[in-house]
Structures are given as C-alpha cells and as structure tokens.
Amino acid sequence: MQASEGQLVIRPIRESDYDALYQCAVESGHGFTSLPVDEGLLRTRIARAQQAFALPQVTQPGEEGYLFVMEDTAKGEIAGVAGIEAAVGLSDAFYHYHLGKVVHHSPKHNVYNALQTLTLCNDYTGATELCTLFVREPYRFGRNGRAMSKFRLLFLAQFSQRFSPRVFAEMRGVSDENGRSPFWAWLEKHFFTMDFPRADYLTGIGDKTFVAELMPRFPIYVNMLDKSAQDVIGKVHQNTLPALKLLQSEGLRFRDYIDIFDAGPTVEGDLKQLKTVRNSRLMRVQVGTPEVSESYLVCNLDVQQFRACHTQLNCQGDDVILDPRVAAALNVQSGDQVRIAPL
C-alpha cells in the first residue's frame, strides 16, 4: 500500500488515537514493555508526544518521547505505531545486563576458566531509543513494517539536534504464549516473587523501584543459571526476528547488552552511520506525474505537522517528482523541500 493510493501515512499521534493505541497495546501481548495495557500510562504517552512535537526549538536531547502512528487514510484506521525516546534514563534509572567475562586462573594447578558474567548497569543513560514498533496484523504485508521502522531514521536525520549520537533498540526476548520467560523464571525463583508479565507490566508503567530493591547487586555467573535460561540469553522472540534483521541491515549491532527481564538483545549504532541516515538527502518538490519511478521513503520537514510515507517517486537532479496525492498527503507543494531515502 502507498500514500499515492490514498492509503498509509505516518504522522504524530493525536489524543483521538487513544482507542487505537489501546488496541495495539492489547494485540502486542506479553513482553512489549513500552505498550502497557493501562489507560493512564497510554494517555500520558500521547500527552508527552504532543508536548515533544510542539517544542519549536530543541538544541540537545532531553526527556522528549515522540510517538507516531501509521494511518490508513482510506479507512480511517490506525495500522501501526512507532516511537523514539530522545534520551533515556535522565530521571529514572534505565537498566541493562552487560555480558562480560572473568578469568579464574591457577598456573600452579594448571586451571584456566573464562566465565561469562551478567552485571547490572545503566550504560545507555542519555542514549536515544527506537521503541514501540508495532504493526497490526491486517497490515503486515508488503513494505509496511519496513516503512514503519525506517521512517524514524529519516526523522532522526532531519532533526538530529533533538537526539543523541548513540542510538539503540531493545528487542523482545524469548517467552511462551502465556508470557513465561525462561530467563525471568530463574530470577523469579532466586530473587523475586512475581511472574514475568507482572514485572514487565510494572516496568512499562514506570514502576522500576523493585528492580533496584530486589535485583542481585553483584555480577551473576552465567553458568549458574538454569540451562533453559542460559539458552535464551541474547535471543529474540520469533515475532521480533524480522525487526532485528531490519535494524541490523541499518548498521545496529549487538554489543553484549541484554534486557534484565527476558534477556533479549539490545542493538546499537552511531546515528550518522546508520544506512538510511547516510543515504537520505534533501530534495526540492515538483508536483507532477512520476514517469520512471523507484520506491522511496519520503517525509516533510515540519516537526509539528510531520508526515511520511513510502511511495514511488522520480528524482531529476535536485528535484523529486511527487504524485499530487502524495504531495497532499505530505502537506507539501512545488518548491518545498522533503527528505528522501531508498526503501
């Protein structure tokens, strides 16, 4: 589906999108920490996003949270949601486990053991997070999921002063259909008395004090974990694999940081080195009929009235030929600038 067909346009979330956002939270299921099924928290996220988009000038990243929806303009439905947190951990601690190594060596007895450890840390404090990516089932076809993920990089490229040079994304770890995480099961047995869905929910609504209070304060030896817990460290939920591959294609890499609840991997990269950011460029709009066209992501340059879509367009020098319906969907006209990147 393309905006040129009057179909899918990405825009900032509105208060009127609450019902659709709540439905996305329900459909996303266990382990999707950033979309808790909680009316108060979801309405707060919408309000935070509206405040972030309304800021006219931002010179450095703060606690802004940007939330976007993909709208099916023909049906008036929300097809998906995606977010960006400008800088995490500035007021609330943002936790990860870091996979490290310690060596136990006794030359006298000819013993050498290199053992993996998990150390609780806040190493991503101040970094920009790509988060809350969810596309509803009826729209999981074609390039919709790809566009919903990658358009955020156009936003980062255009408004880079609002974000950190370090960009990361947490990937959902392994859990079963009932929300049971093998990794959390081990932590629950030894340190906590709450199941994974509740711990995940508490984190989603911002109640993280229990992490500092109950999480082991010293490094954990990985070989002490149950085998089922060891096996899922750094692994993703099967539904998250396409999202992981897409981010890896952009240049985000696993640097030995995992989620403290389900052990899913965190991937990171340098903003300016991300593929879509590097390949994006500003073009001048000419409204017309593209003749020889290619598939691109395209967005306007207005924060408050931000619009993006994936469509077929034609580049001629510094000009891009946009179909009139695409131009209208992006709120641009001939002579305006847009940012584009190959999809």
User: What SS3 state is found at 252?
Assistant: coil
The closest alpha carbon to 102, from 264, 224, 192, 259, belongs to 224
Buried b (16+ CB within 10 A) or exposed e, 221-257: ebeebeeebbebbbbbbeebeebbebbeebbbeeeeb
- In terms of Cβ atoms closer than 10 Å to its own Cβ (0-12, 13-18, 19+), residue 185 is middle
Cβ-contact 27, 16 below 8 angstroms = no
Rounded CA-CA distance 337/308 in Å is: 13
DSSP-derived secondary structure letter, 147: H
DSSP-assigned beta bridge partners for residue 258:
97, 265
Residue the block writes with tokens 């996003």: 49
Looking at residue 219, what DSSP letter applies? P
Helices (runs of H) and strands (runs of E) counted in the chain: 10, 15
104 is catalytic: no
Q: Are 163 and 259 in contact (CB under 8 A)?
A: no
Buried b (16+ CB within 10 A) or exposed e, 1-19: bbbbeebbbbbbbeeebee
Write the CB contacts of 206 (distance below 8 Å, at least 6 apart in sequence): 41, 92
Find out whether 205 and 36 touch, Cβ atoms under 8 Å.
yes
30, 96, 237, 310: which one is catalytic? 237
Tokens of 35: 């979309």
Active site residues: 237
